[in-house]
A and B are shown apart, each in its own frame.
Chain A
Amino acid sequence: MDHGPNITTGKDYAPEYKSRLGLRLFLVYSILYAGFIIINAFIPRLMAFILFAGLNLAVVYGFGLIITAIVLGLIYNHLCTKKEQQMQAAESAGGQKP
């Protein structure tokens, strides 16, 4: 039944912090995505509205969702890495506990 552990190297720091942060960012993105779906499904003609440089809301919102996903991903990684390093540093500074 048990196949032994999956090979894992390195300690996983700050899981609770990362979970909380992940859920918050997920909520932000979900709201943006839901707004996009609602406009597409129920007020599709609003998507033809020209926002800037001749680009309409459909294109700007669509590209925006893709770029936002990338930006949120990078922010998440940055904050998680920072926290992991802090905790790692704190642990090594905390000394060699038995």
Chain B
Amino acid sequence: MIYSISPLAIGLFMAIVVAVLAISVYFARKSSSSTNYFAAGGTIPWQVNGIAFAGDYLSAASFLGICGMIAFSGYDGFLYSIGYLAGWIVALFVIAEPIKRLGKYTFADALDAIFKFPGIRLMAGISTLVVSIFYLIPQMVGAGSLVVPLLGLPHWIGVIGVGSIVIFIVATAGMKSTTYVQFIKGSLLIVFSLILTFAILNKGLSTKPSAEYHQFESLEATISGDLISGLPAGYSATDTHATATGLFVRTEKAGTIRWWKASSDNGPVTLAETLTITTRADGSILYNGAPREEQAFYQVGHLDRIVVDGQDVDSTGRLNPISYLSILNQSRVMLFSEVKFSAGGEQVRLWYQNPVEGSRILRPGMKFKVDEGSSLVSKLNFVSLMLALFLGTAALPHVLIRYYTVPSAKDARKSTILAIIAIGFFYILTLFIGLGAMTSGVIDLTDSNMAAPLLARNFGILLFAIISAIAFATVLGTVSGLIMASAGAVAHDLVDGIFKKHKLTDRQRVIIAKVAAIATGIVAILLGIIFKGVNVSFLVGLAFAIAASANFPAIVMILFWKKTTAHGVVASILVGMLLSVGIIMLSPTMAPYFGVAAGDALIPLDNPGIVSIPVSFLTLIIVSLLTKKKVVANT
């Protein structure tokens, strides 16, 4: 919207797509058997698998979502990074090797290796599908969001484009090409994020991020009741609107309408410039009072005040990572806070300048309600999210299947450790990329997901093109992993669960998986189009919560509690899945989709984990104890 299309970005994107398709075709010849298709023949070297883990895991939500959230809400965005990484500790220390010892291709195979019980495979397959689809939605929505500004195409074309490429990859070549796509993408993402971080530190902090950065205006005026006087020549005040955050004044100058924030509601005041998107009664939309094509809606984000060793400075020059954070902590950042109101028949979406101390930005509470205005429920909501991130990672189907692509348990362990190093390193960089975007005058207030690519553009069109192309590849890599997991679940678990008597050949199974991959891809495309505009990070959090509630208790208890029975596992998966999805559906975030005010939602929690994970564990324990004589583990 406020950035033009880059031929270089398009060219690089096409190059990445061609490379990905070439890899697929190359490996297609080698993946006719079931083992090859689902588990890459169990032959992937641990080094490649480790980076592929990173490529798989660092989805659009990590790269675009977290960097954007840090750029908009400071430290709270980084809490996602910490939670996402901590989940790998569970994967490494609790799940990786035992499940490798048990399993074959899917999570359901692992369960089935212990219990020969009808229903367990079907239930595990369904839960794999549910989690994968919840995880797919944000990836597809993200794909569409990227395409709009970068290629100048409509959202739905982006979704269909990414969906089609991924269907081609998965349906032709299976796990091996998926692994190599993720390996390449993971490597590129980490290397170029590092380059971006170097560029941020090299530039340092500055009150005027670039020569082209917008100069904010302010007007002097006098307010007395409803009367506004003393405005500079040419300006006339045409309306006012009072909100909880202050008084806003509408002015007109040479036919252009702008809104300003008054420093107080009476007496001599300063009116500070705001940014607005106004929808008029006739449906036309104005950006800062001008039609879209005039590009009057500028990018923002700068330091209001920089303090180095107690002295105010305009810029710092090159900084090291520690001094960057410590100077930011003492300085003041200009953030932009949003209010929405209607005035004079117009719907106004307005962002006003809101100076915030760096020390506030670098501690929790700007996004998550744990400090000002918090309640016990809002605090538990935060705890619930962090719990789901911690326990959900190891139970995500596309993470679980990656344990079967390496030759041995030892390789599963080594590749997990390499993944932790790569992912941990990347997450440390997200803090610098996010804060860099916050203070470099690059933020598009209408789309937090674009913070990282727009920051890259600040350092030259080449870096922008590369980062954008990697962001596309990020979506491709993660979506192929998810569709692969779904296809495996359908071909093995659902088909076997439903047609128990009918033994399928290897070849039939691969054909079913490919058809399933195409079907899942089409479902993902449709959901990606339907859910356009829904918060990407929120949806990812839900996928983690469902995985942690439905799959995690079953996996852990099978590995570590000998009294676990098949009935217990089935009940736990069912209860965990239904309870987590149910709480989500009745949560304040979903309420508006059903025409209910968020405050009137039946359940005050947005994140179900804190309830559904313990209940799922309890269900497993109780049902197992009640049924222990009926079905005994055959190990």
Contacts and interface: CB of A to CB of B under 8 A. Distances in A.
Interface string A40-84: 111011011010011110110011011101101110110011001
B35 A63 contact: no
B427 A66 contact: yes
A6 B97 contact: no
Which of A3, A12, A58 has the most chain B CB within a 10 Å cutoff?
A: A3
Given A8-B42, A37-B383, A3 B363 contact: no
A95 interface: no
B326 A26 contact: no
Contact of B97 (A9, A18, A37, A62): A18
A6 B94 contact: no
Interface in B86-139: 86, 88-90, 92-94, 97-98, 101, 103-105, 109, 112
A65 B86 contact: yes
Which of A5, A6, A25, A26 has the most chain B CB within a 10 Å cutoff?
A: A6
B359 A6 contact: no
| Residues of B contacting A: mostly | helix
A4 B421 contact: no
Contacts of A4: 34-35, 104
B90 A44 contact: no
A67 B325 contact: no
Contacts of A33: 86, 89, 386, 390
Contacts of A26: 89-90, 93-94
Contacts, number: 172
B518 to A, nearest CB: 21
Given A9-B408, A55-B326, A76 B363 contact: no
A47 B364 contact: yes
A73 to B, nearest CB: 4
Interface in A1-52: 1, 3-10, 12, 15, 18-19, 22-23, 25-26, 29, 33, 36-37, 40-42, 44-45, 47-48, 50
A80 B88 CA distance: 18
Nearest to B379: A41
B31 to A, nearest CB: 14
B86 A48 contact: no
Interface stretch (B75-83, B190-198, B245-253, B611-619): B75-83
A66 B410 contact: no
Contacts of A29: 86, 89, 93
A23 B410 contact: no
Given A7-B39, A7-B43, A41-B383, A69 B86 contact: yes
Given A40-B370, A44-B371, A73 B417 contact: yes
Nearest to B407: A9
A66 B66 CA distance: 16
B538 interface: no
Contacts of A55: 322, 325-326, 329
Contact of A10 (B82, B101, B408): B408
Interface in B497-535: 500, 503, 509
Contact of B329 (A1, A7, A37, A54): A54
B365 interface: yes
A10 B407 contact: yes
Nearest to A53: B322
B325 A59 contact: yes
A62 B390 CA distance: 14
A47 B371 CA distance: 11
A58 B101 contact: no
Given A6-B404, A8-B408, A41-B382, A65 B85 contact: yes
Contacts of A25: 89, 93
B326 A54 contact: yes
A59 B360 CA distance: 12
B119 to A, nearest CB: 13
B6 to A, nearest CB: 33
Contacts of B101: 12, 15
A72 B420 CA distance: 10
Contacts of B302: none
B161 interface: no
A70 B363 contact: no
Contacts of A47: 75, 363-364
- 7 closest A-B pairs (Cβ-Cβ)? A54-B326, A7-B42, A22-B93, A26-B93, A47-B363, A73-B417, A10-B408
14 contacts: A6-B35, A7-B35, A7-B41, A15-B101, A23-B560, A25-B93, A40-B368, A40-B370, A47-B75, A55-B329, A58-B362, A70-B420, A70-B424, A80-B410
Interface of A: 1, 3-10, 12, 15, 18-19, 22-23, 25-26, 29, 33, 36-37, 40-42, 44-45, 47-48, 50, 53-56, 58-59, 62-63, 65-67, 69-70, 72-74, 76-77, 80-81, 84
